[in-house]
């Protein structure tokens, strides 16, 4: 199947009314999705959102309705088409995934820090996340990396038959269990290194749900799509020392072998 077209970040934002962190990218290629693929992708998205609405209506609203007229489903379908176009061999999406096809799933730690066990690569990607966990050990005054490191750019998997790409939703960074760990963040890419920091609003330490230690970190640069071709660095300056539990809400698009079976990274 050939690439059908491409769209600029501005066109995607215009169609979805959701900001996109372009990070220097001028255009995204698109491959066609048939009705079955669209149904598959939306099934995975909607089932996760239904559960999210039950456990945290406030976070659900921040993800689904971040701005008036937001269309999260359109955004997800667009970037599913982008991932399909970018993978070396274009294959259809199925759920669950099967050999020779593409899969889609909600983000889990092993999709971020995928490592050698998951893909056969010689080393996993750079991140401060602990393996198999959304926990990051933080030290006040020392940068901690959601994606990347001081010296290495973060990219998704490019192992043969195990390519992947991730989409982190606008407002899709949630911390819980402790007082929020940071108010300063920086997001850059290999194509856009001159961006400075962005900050959380001063009341980030107020939980978004009554009687639940759930905190929402703003992502004012927009939804973030990351692939294997352009590295990114996303880090923050901790205001305390200890362990921060920071979860990314979003999806991973992948060739079947990337997550063909359950995996525990060592």
Query: What is the distance between the terminal CA atoms of the chain, rounded to a whole angstrom?
Result: 37
Q: Which of 112, 39, 20 is nearest to 77 (CA)?
A: 39
What was the pLDDT predicted at 121? 46
| CB distance 84 to 102 below 8 Å | yes
What was the pLDDT predicted at 120? 47
**SS3 of residue 60 by DSSP:** helix
Q: Which of 134, 132, 113, 119 is nearest to 260 (CA)?
A: 119
Task: Please name the residues in contact with 67: beta carbons below 8 A apart, sequence gap of 6 or more.
Answer: 17, 18, 19
Q: Which of 123, 131, 138, 114 is nearest to 255 (CA)?
A: 114
| CB distance 225 to 166 below 8 Å | yes
What was the pLDDT predicted at 124? 62
Q: How far apart are CA 173 and CA 59, in angstroms?
A: 10
Output b/e per residue, 88-113; b: 16+ Cβ within 10 A: eeebebbbebeeebbbbbbbbbbbbb
Task: Please name the residues in contact with 64: beta carbons below 8 A apart, sequence gap of 6 or more.
Answer: 49, 70, 72
H-assigned helices in 65-171: 72-86, 109-112, 115-119
Check whether the bond before 121 is cis (ω within 30° of 0).
no
The phi and psi torsions of 129 (rounded to 5 degrees) equal -65, 140
**pLDDT tens digits in sequence order for the chain, 266 residues long:** 444 489 999 999 999 999 999 999 999 999 999 999 999 999 999 999 999 999 999 999 999 999 999 999 999 999 999 999 999 999 999 999 999 999 999 999 999 998 654 444 445 689 999 989 999 999 999 999 999 999 999 999 999 999 999 999 999 999 988 788 899 999 999 999 999 999 988 888 888 888 889 999 999 999 999 999 999 999 999 999 999 999 999 999 999 999 999 988 87
What was the pLDDT predicted at 233? 97
What was the pLDDT predicted at 57? 96
| CB distance 80 to 41 below 8 Å | yes
| CB distance 162 to 261 below 8 Å | no
What is the value of pTM for the model shown?
0.94
- Residues 244, 59, 103, CA angle at the centre, nearest 5°? 85
Chain length of the chain: 266
**DSSP tally for the chain: helices H, then strands E:** 6, 13
Q: How far apart are CA 62 and CA 65, in angstroms?
A: 6
């Amino acid at each position: 199947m050939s690439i059908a077209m491409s769209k600029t970040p501005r066109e995607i934002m215009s169609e979805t009314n959701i900001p996109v962190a372009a990070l220097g990218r001028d255009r995204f290629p698109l491959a066609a999705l048939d009705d079955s693929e669209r149904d598959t992708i939306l099934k995975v998205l909607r089932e996760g959102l239904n559960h999210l609405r039950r456990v945290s209506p406030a976070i659900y609203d921040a993800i689904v309705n971040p701005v008036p007229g937001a269309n999260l489903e359109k955004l997800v379908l667009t970037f599913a088409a982008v991932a399909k176009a970018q993978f070396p061999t274009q294959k259809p999406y199925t759920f669950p995934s099967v050999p020779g096809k593409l899969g889609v799933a909600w983000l889990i730690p092993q999709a971020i820090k995928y490592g050698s066990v998951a893909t056969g690569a010689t080393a996993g990607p750079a991140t401060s996340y602990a393996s198999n966990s959304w926990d990051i050990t933080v030290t006040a005054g020392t940068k901690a990396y959601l994606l990347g490191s001081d010296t290495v750019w973060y990219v998704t998997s490019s192992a043969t038959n195990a390519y992947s790409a991730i989409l982190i939703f606008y407002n899709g960074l949630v911390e819980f269990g402790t007082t929020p760990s940071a108010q300063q963040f920086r997001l850059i890419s290999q194509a856009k290194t001159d961006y400075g920091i962005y900050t959380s609003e001063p009341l980030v330490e107020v939980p978004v749900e009554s009687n639940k230690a759930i905190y929402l970190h703003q992502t004012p640069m927009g939804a973030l799509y990351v692939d294997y071709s352009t590295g990114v660095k996303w880090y923050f300056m901790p205001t305390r020392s200890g362990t921060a539990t920071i979860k990314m809400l979003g999806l991973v698009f992948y060739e079947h072998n990337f997550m063909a079976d359950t995996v525990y990274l060592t």
